[in-house]
Amino acid sequence: MLTAFARAFKTPDLRKKLLFTLGIIVVYRIGTKVPVPGVDYRSVQTCIDAAQANQGLFGLVNMFSGGALLQITVFALGIMPYITASIILQLLTVVIPRLEALKKEGQAGTAKITQYTRYLTVALAILQGTGLVATARSGALFQGCPVASEIVPDQSMFVTITMVITMTAGTAAVMWLGELITDRGIGNGMSMLMFISIAATFPSALWAIKEQGSLAGGWIEFGTVLLVGLVMVGLVVFVEQAQRRIPVQYAKRMIGRRSYGGTSTYIPLKVNQAGVIPVIFASSLLYIPALIVQFSSSTAGWATWVTKNLADTGATPHIILYFFLIVFFAFFYVAITFNPEEVADNMKKYGGFIPGIRAGRPTAEYLSYVLNRITWPGSLYLGLIALVPTMALAGFGANQNFPFGGTSILIIVGVGLETVRQIESQLQQRNYEGFLR
């Protein structure tokens, strides 16, 4: 593998892409450390260093921002507004005929949808930035910290607007950096920045587990967590690579004196067809009741029940509801992203058929049957992976940003595999031995 890296850097054009990507990553990491104007940096660090920040409600966004959210930096919102906008546009494509028509127009339609995604990203960044500033001003961002109310000393309207504009511009800059990596780097820039954001939190989280440990100075807990992480990575790689290949045969067609078709291929149906989206959906949905209680400051019976059973990630109702929401969203997302009838119609149009299955409606019913069968183990796997942080809280007393959580591992492994494939494909073009053997 190290030899392949060396060969990759010896290739001029690939070396330029790798160095350009590394440069963009450095710029991105610098942006996650620059505080927003109007924020008292010392007060923020006091709350973080005292380990009094309750990250339960903001852990997901903080993870995607590489820890920049709780430090209230220029890139505090990170890539999360873009992820949310992309998911919303993908869901609306199924509902709105105009977006569905754009999707079918090819590259021009995709470019238009990408433009809509950018506009929605800026709008969501303004909304989320306003919410973050309001939370920081009220002291709710760092519950229990004695200087939480001093994070934003000047609470005038001018300072508030400046903070929101700065964070919105930071989100637009992150989006631009991601597109630069896509155009001139080695892969999908947004996924790469997400990968870097999550990986950046690993060293501090692992060291915190070591510091909190009691066996042999915490090294036993540290080693156990690393071992669990390696096992999880192996499991995730195995399942993410698993797929059901449905054979497809294309009949021969004579056009003039030439024969077309007669080839055989397959439709790859992944076991985890939905990816990490169900986990994000379920986490976001469970955060809503807790956020309502936090901003309302209510002490009524329903607020107490929500705080005790839904806001607490270790509570039994939270675990059960979280698991079933992941399973539900896995089936829901697969249903809206893979249309068996459309696939069957396209196969019939080009003379393709599944051996033993009639073309048309029987093919669509067969694809739907197979898809439902493989979605069950995929959804159960997602639910079990997502519950690992909860088990870590009970077993190791780790904080809520346990490094080998379900969402982080799924993204790290998925983006890592995709990046390796892209570098491998460029190496194979020059007959070089690559990473995957």
| Same domain for 82 and 160 | yes
Domain termination site, one of 200, 231, 255: 200
Could you tell me the pTM of the whole model?
A: 0.79
Read off the pLDDT of each residue in 137-141 and give the average, rounded to a whole number. Answer: 75
In tens, the pLDDT along 79-102 reads 888 888 888 888 888 788 888 888
| Same domain for 184 and 118 | yes
In the chain, the number of structural domains is: 2
Please check whether residue 79 lies inside any domain of the structure: yes
Instruction: Give me the pLDDT at residue 171, please.
Output: 92
Instruction: Give me the pLDDT at residue 122, please.
Output: 93
Between residues 91 and 330, which one has the greater pLDDT?
330
Domain termination site, one of 152, 182, 200: 200
| Same domain for 209 and 270 | yes
pLDDT of 174 above 50: yes
d(CA 84, CA 416): 22
| Same domain for 346 and 260 | yes
The single-letter code of the amino acid at 415 is V
pLDDT of 50 above 70: no
pLDDT of 366 above 60: yes
User: At 53, is the pLDDT very low, low, confident or very high (cuts 50, 70, 90)?
Assistant: very low
d(CA 80, CA 190): 10
| Same domain for 189 and 95 | yes
User: Which pair of structure tokens corresponds to residue 408?
Assistant: 């982080």
In tens, the pLDDT along 368-378 reads 999 999 999 98
Please check whether residue 413 lies inside any domain of the structure: no
| Same domain for 87 and 1 | yes
Beta carbons of 311 and 56 less than 8 angstroms apart: yes
Q: What percent of the chain has pLDDT above 90?
A: 8
145 Rama sector, left if φ>0, alpha if ψ -120 to 50, beta otherwise: beta
Please check whether residue 230 lies inside any domain of the structure: yes
Please check whether residue 436 lies inside any domain of the structure: no
Closest CA to 283 of 76, 80, 129: 80
User: At 59, is the pLDDT very low, low, confident or very high (cuts 50, 70, 90)?
Assistant: low
| Same domain for 319 and 222 | yes
Instruction: Give me the pLDDT at residue 54, please.
Output: 46
Instruction: Give me the pLDDT at residue 262, please.
Output: 64
Kindly write down the DSSP assignment for every residue of 48-93, as one continuous string.
HHTT----TTTHHHHHHTTTHHHHTBTTSSTTHHHHHHHHHHHHHH
Please check whether residue 428 lies inside any domain of the structure: no
| Same domain for 247 and 120 | no
| Same domain for 247 and 188 | no
For the chain, the farthest-separated pair of C-alpha atoms sits apart, in whole angstroms, at: 84
Please check whether residue 418 lies inside any domain of the structure: no
Instruction: Give me the pLDDT at residue 4, please.
Output: 59
User: At 198, is the pLDDT very low, low, confident or very high (cuts 50, 70, 90)?
Assistant: confident
| Same domain for 46 and 2 | yes
Query: What is the CATH classification number for the domain harbouring 15?
Result: 1.10.3370.10
| Same domain for 337 and 216 | yes
d(CA 45, CA 371): 49
Range of the domain at 109: 1-200
Helix axes 361-386, 219-241, angle to 10 degrees: 180
Domain termination site, one of 200, 220, 248: 200
pLDDT of 253 above 60: yes
> What are the beta bridge partners of residue 243?
270
| Same domain for 217 and 161 | no
User: Which pair of structure tokens corresponds to residue 289?
Assistant: 């009741």
Helix axes 361-386, 277-296, angle to 10 degrees: 50
Beta carbons of 19 and 428 less than 8 angstroms apart: no
H helix or E strand, kind and range, residue 131: helix 107-138
Beta carbons of 274 and 382 less than 8 angstroms apart: yes
- 373: number of Cβ within 10 Å: 11
User: At 52, is the pLDDT very low, low, confident or very high (cuts 50, 70, 90)?
Assistant: very low
Of the listed ranges 91-95, 230-234, 425-429, the least confidently predicted one is: 425-429
Please check whether residue 95 lies inside any domain of the structure: yes
Read off the pLDDT of each residue in 387-410 and give the average, rounded to a whole number. Answer: 64
The single-letter code of the amino acid at 427 is L
Closest CA to 176 of 232, 132, 127, 121: 121
Q: What is the mean pLDDT of the chain?
A: 79
d(CA 69, CA 318): 24
Helix axes 277-296, 316-337, angle to 10 degrees: 130
Read off the pLDDT of each residue in 276-305 and give the average, rounded to a whole number. Answer: 75
